[in-house]
Each structure stands twice: as C-alpha cells, then as structure tokens.
Amino acid sequence: MSDAEKTLPTGFSVIQGYLNTIDSSPGVYRMLDSESRVLYVGKARNLRARVSNYARPSGHSARIARMIDNTASMMFLTTKTETEALLLEQNLIKQLKPKFNVLLRDDKSFPNILVTDKHDYPQIKKHRGAKKEKGAYYGPFASAGAVNRTLNQLQRVFLLRDCSNSQFETRTRPCLQYQIKRCSAPCVGKISAEDYAQSVRDAQKFLSGKTTGIQTRLASEMAAASEEMEFERAAALRDRIKALTQVQTTQGINPRGVSEADIIGLHMADGQACVQVFFIRSGQNWGNHDYYPRVGDDVDAAEVLEAFIGQFYDQRDPPRQLILSHEIENPDLMAEALASKINRKVELLVPQRGEKAELVDGALRNARESLARKMAESATQTKLLKGLAEAFDLPKVPERIEIYDNSHIQGAFAVGAMVVAGQEGMIKNQYRKFNIRGEELTPGDDFGMMKEVLTRRFKRLIKEDPDRKEGHWPDLLLIDGGAGQVSAVREIMRDYGVEDIPMVGVAKGEDRDAGKEEFYRTGKPVMALRHNDPVLYFIQRMRDEAHRFAIGTHRAKRAKSVGATPLDDVPGVGASRKRALLAHFGSAKAVARANLQDLKAVEGVSDALADTIYAFFHEKG
C-alpha cells in the first residue's frame, strides 16, 4: 500500500461528503475501501436517504460500523425503479463478492429431464445447463441422483430409449436395456412409431403430475391382450403396471395441495446459516439441496433470506410460489422482480398453518440438522488444519491448500488437475484442470507436466492478484510425487519469486501402500507420519480427491477425442449435418472418399456445402 493510500480518510465523514452529490432516485450504491476494493453493494428506493443513514456517527450494528470505518469512497448507479435496483444489486453481489454482503457461495446449475422432439422416436435424458436443444424440459431436480432415479423409474414404466441418435441409427439388434426391460427397442422395430409416441405422451403426463388414467389405460390394454391371447404383451403390460404402482407408492411423501413451489427454510446459529430448498414440481417432490451463505454475526434472518432469494434466482426461473420460513424485508418488491424475469406472477408465502406450514417445518428441520453437521465437520477440519501445520512446521495454519496431480496414458491425453481444500473442506468451485500443451515434452514426462501446470498457475496468480490480497494464493502446496517432482516445482517457484509458499511432495512409500506415504520438503529430510495419525488420513483424502479429479478430466478428454472425426474440422458441418453424413456414408473415411455428386445427394447438404466438404478432403489428400 502506498503512503497516499494509507492517508486516505475513511469513515462516516467521507460518506457525508456524498450527500450533496446524490438525489432521491432509486439505485445501487457501492462502498469501497482505500484500495478501491468493494466492501458492500446495496440498493435503495431513495439513495440520498439510505446514504444519510450511513453518515451518522453512531447507532449502527458492529458489522455496519466496521464497514463504515473501512469506507474510503462510494459509487452510485441510479435506476428507473426500485425493482431494477434490486436486480442490479444481486447481479453485482454475485459478480463482486463484497466482504460485508450476505453471499451465496454454491451456485451450480440444476439438472433437468429432457424429452427430445426432433426424432420419430424421442429420446429421454438428463440435461444440465442452457436449454438450447429443442424438446420438453422437466425440472429442476435437486441433484443428478434425483434425476437418475426418476429416469430409472420412467424407463421401467414407459420403456423409452436413452441412447443417442447416432447409437440409435447404427443398432442392428436390441441392446442390454431391452433385455432387462428398460427399453422397447424402437431402434430395431420392436415397437411401432404410434405405440412409442403413446409411451412418450404417458411419460410426459407422469412428469407433469397427471398420472390418473395411465394405469387404467394400461390395465385395459392388458385385459384386451389377454383376451386376444397375446400373453407376452399382456405380461409386459402387467410388469409396467407393477412398476408404476411401485413408483406411486414411493412417492407417498408428495404434497397434496402444492403443485409448483420451492420450499425454502433458513436456520441460523453462531454466526452461520443453512438454507434448505425443496423443489416441488407437478405435485411431486423432486429433491432438496442445502446452502451455506456467508453471513455475519449481526445479520438477521430477513436480510439473509432476501439476499439468498435474489442471488439464487438470478440465473434460474422461479416457480409460481416460494414458500418461506421467514418474512423478508421487501416481499412485494422481490415478487415483482422475480415476476419481471419470467413474465408471470410469482407468489411469496410465509404459511402459519396447514400443509404448507408442515412443508416449511420439514425444510427447517433439515436446515437445522444440516447446519449442525456442517459445524461439527468445520470443527474437525479446524483441528486437522492445525495438525497439518504442526506436522510440517508451517508458519501458520493454512486457509487454502492446493493439491496437484497429473493423468495420462503413456503421455497421451495428458491433463493436470488442481483441487483446493480449506476451512470448509474441499472447495469444488475452485478446482481447475490444465490441458498439457508442451509440445517439447517427452511422452510420460511427469516432471515436465508438473512444471507446466505450476508455471501456468503462478503466472495467472501474479497477473490477477500480485499483492496476494484476494485470497487466491495458497498457503500450502501438496504435490503428488517425490523428490523429483518437488525439485521441479521448487525450480518454478524460484523463477517466479514465490519460494515463501510451503510445499510438500506426497509419495507412496514402501510397496506403494496407502499408510506408508513419505513426505518430501526442500532442504529437509524425508519424513513420515504414524500409521493412525488423523493428519495422514486427511492428506490421503486430499491426494485421492486430486487423483479422482485428474482421472475424471483425463477420461473426459480421451472420450471426446475418441468421438472426434475429421468432419469436426470441416467449415459449416455441425452436429446435425455430421449425423446425416455419417448415416448416409457409414463412416468419416467414406465421406472423405465420396465424390461431389454423392455428397450433394445427402439430405440437408447444399451444393455449396458439398463443394466445401469435397474441397476440404481433396486438399487434405
């Protein structure tokens, strides 16, 4: 920090100086410290009135008083309405992650079920991310496990295919799914297009909560099949009815009077919070998820819940009802903001009795139990981090540990992986993968791969956070490997002037058995921990997580490469035209050998594109 920055005035007197420059418009304000880091983002119906509250020398909570004391400047952005201010506020909070705001830390997307509609025999599958593919989407589900269970039920009852279109087109005999009665094998004509379409309609009714009538119709079809002595078909229908009955039995926990809602329960204790969200869609409970927003000691439930809702639905479509455990500060404003996103009414409820209150009680119970487990795990994690610092003579208890590993097959599809651990356990949104780019590397050169990964990591850290003030720098590096890897990494650290970061190499010891790990540090003798030391188990878990992440990344890269064809590089050939060409010619090699007239005969391939494809492979040849 420069002398000028040290002498910048801060506090309520600085805030008072802005009162003459702002009016009573709605808008968003930002409070910044002496180094222009954002401390807090807030919204206001009346900017001048809100800022004047901060300009008072007393009457603030401890958290707000600390924030005011650190404030060296402010920024303002006016909006037309308070609703716009609310939406902008939550967007900026997610983007800037200010120190004094309530912050939703886990913001992953949720999976949906997609029933495609661009094929005579639609596919049913799990989908996550932007809804670009055409079809009917059902969700969100709380987890991939909830989706997989539902897909499993749907396949047992409705026998819909889950294979890709390319697999469907190339099948010559039924797959295992048909043999275990999870698919009706439309790929080889075991079911007519009309009957399959009826199954798709039934599945969509099931996902929409309209299950009455499906079982009755199946029972009628079974009786008719029996009368016509089609006993095999009757038996198949009987199995489907049995599966549907089992599904409906397991769904006895579904609410009777709530069709579409998110149940949101908040529990707070000892300066920590847990928000439990249950997803109710089409009258069915599609799972729940817990969140642990960053809060302060003196934040009340209304502020936490309002901040959570604003950030949670920033990139998600809200349901028709949000059923809450607590009132929020601006329920009408929040309802208006959410409704403006999806152009239909969104209702916020805090029920006091009846089924909705029982649902909230269930969410609250889960939130309370989840927070208790989280706090117990956090206490254990603190002990382990302290033990780690003592075991390796670290200058302080590490708050951020980065663990590195590589994965490849004889140098092919090489990737590096970084996983991160800290006070909250494994911090998955901080994981990073590195595609190994070094063309001069000898295949299988683990030292060279590790050097490349760490070089890129430190280059990025120095560029993005040169003063080490954003919390992105590690307090400890764990490297999968022995003396060679430690030496290679130390060389990189010396080149970038970051030798002050402790680094430990973790190598399998005698017979490569877990529990006999040896630890390598620069300038110190090799050491080991006793076999039953909790710190040893902690290190093993971190190393195994890095290995799991590296292996998964490597497999994904290899699978993508295996599925690649020369057609991927042809300008103008996307996924649909690629499928058409492969279906017509049988292979990419046959496409490359095809003459111009044959290329023009492919459905969906224009004359101009046929010229492009022919020229591409002709020039390649």
Residue 252, pLDDT above cutoff 50: no
- CA nearest to 367, candidates 320, 324, 413: 324
| Span 594-620, average pLDDT | 83
Residue 338, pLDDT above cutoff 90: yes
CA distance 611 to 594: 12
pLDDT band at 146 (very low <50, low <70, confident <90, very high): confident
Residue 484: count of CB within 10 angstroms of its CB: 14
Q: From its phi and psi, is residue 378 left (phi > 0), alpha (psi between -120 and 50) or beta?
A: alpha
Q: 477 vs 300, 415, 446, CA distance in Å?
A: 38, 18, 17
Residue 9, pLDDT above cutoff 60: yes
Q: What is the CATH number of domain 400-560?
A: 3.30.420.340
Residue 42, pLDDT above cutoff 90: yes
CA distance 336 to 341: 9
261: exposed, middle or buried (Cβ count in 10 Å: 0-12, 13-18, 19+)? buried
Residue 154, pLDDT above cutoff 70: yes
Top-tier CATH class for 566-620: mainly alpha
Rounded to two decimals, what is the model's pTM?
Answer: 0.71
Question: Which pLDDT score, from 0 to 100, does residue 245 have?
Answer: 65
Residue 505 and residue 482 in contact, taking contact as beta carbons nearer than 8 Å: yes
565: exposed, middle or buried (Cβ count in 10 Å: 0-12, 13-18, 19+)? middle
Residue 318 and residue 338 in contact, taking contact as beta carbons nearer than 8 Å: yes
pLDDT band at 250 (very low <50, low <70, confident <90, very high): very low
pLDDT band at 619 (very low <50, low <70, confident <90, very high): low
Mean pLDDT, the chain, integer: 85
**Between 241 and 346, residue with greater pLDDT:** 346
Question: Which pLDDT score, from 0 to 100, does residue 165 have?
Answer: 84
| Span 320-344, average pLDDT | 93
| Span 182-211, average pLDDT | 86
Q: Which helix (H) or strand (E) holds 263?
A: strand 261-269
Question: Which pLDDT score, from 0 to 100, does residue 53 have?
Answer: 92
Residue-wise pLDDT for 307-322, tens only, equals 999 999 988 889 999 9
Residues forming a β-bridge with 407: 415
pLDDT band at 346 (very low <50, low <70, confident <90, very high): very high
pLDDT band at 614 (very low <50, low <70, confident <90, very high): confident
Residue 575, pLDDT above cutoff 90: no
Residue 273, pLDDT above cutoff 90: yes
Question: Which pLDDT score, from 0 to 100, does residue 65 have?
Answer: 92
Question: Which pLDDT score, from 0 to 100, does residue 277 have?
Answer: 94
Residue-wise pLDDT for 57-84, tens only, equals 888 888 899 999 999 999 999 999 999 9
Residue 544 and residue 394 in contact, taking contact as beta carbons nearer than 8 Å: no
Least confident of 107-111, 176-180, 526-530: 107-111
Taking domain 3-96, whether its CATH number is 3.40.1440.10 is answered by yes
Question: Which pLDDT score, from 0 to 100, does residue 251 have?
Answer: 47
CA distance 349 to 319: 12
Residue 443, pLDDT above cutoff 80: no
Do the two domains 261-372 and 400-560 of this chain adopt the same fold? yes
Taking domain 261-372, whether its CATH number is 3.30.70 is answered by no
Q: Helical H runs in 104-230?
A: 144-158, 165-170, 176-179, 193-207, 214-227
Residue-wise pLDDT for 277-303, tens only, equals 999 988 888 888 899 998 877 889 999
CA distance 562 to 124: 24
The domain segmentation of the chain, as residue ranges, is 3-96, 112-250, 261-372, 400-560, 566-620
Residue-wise pLDDT for 362-404, tens only, equals 999 999 999 998 888 888 899 999 999 999 999 999 999 999 9
Residue 563 and residue 421 in contact, taking contact as beta carbons nearer than 8 Å: no
Residue 41, pLDDT above cutoff 90: yes
Q: 206 vs 147, 158, 198, 291, CA distance in Å?
A: 14, 10, 12, 29
Percentage of the chain beyond pLDDT 90 is 36
pLDDT band at 513 (very low <50, low <70, confident <90, very high): low
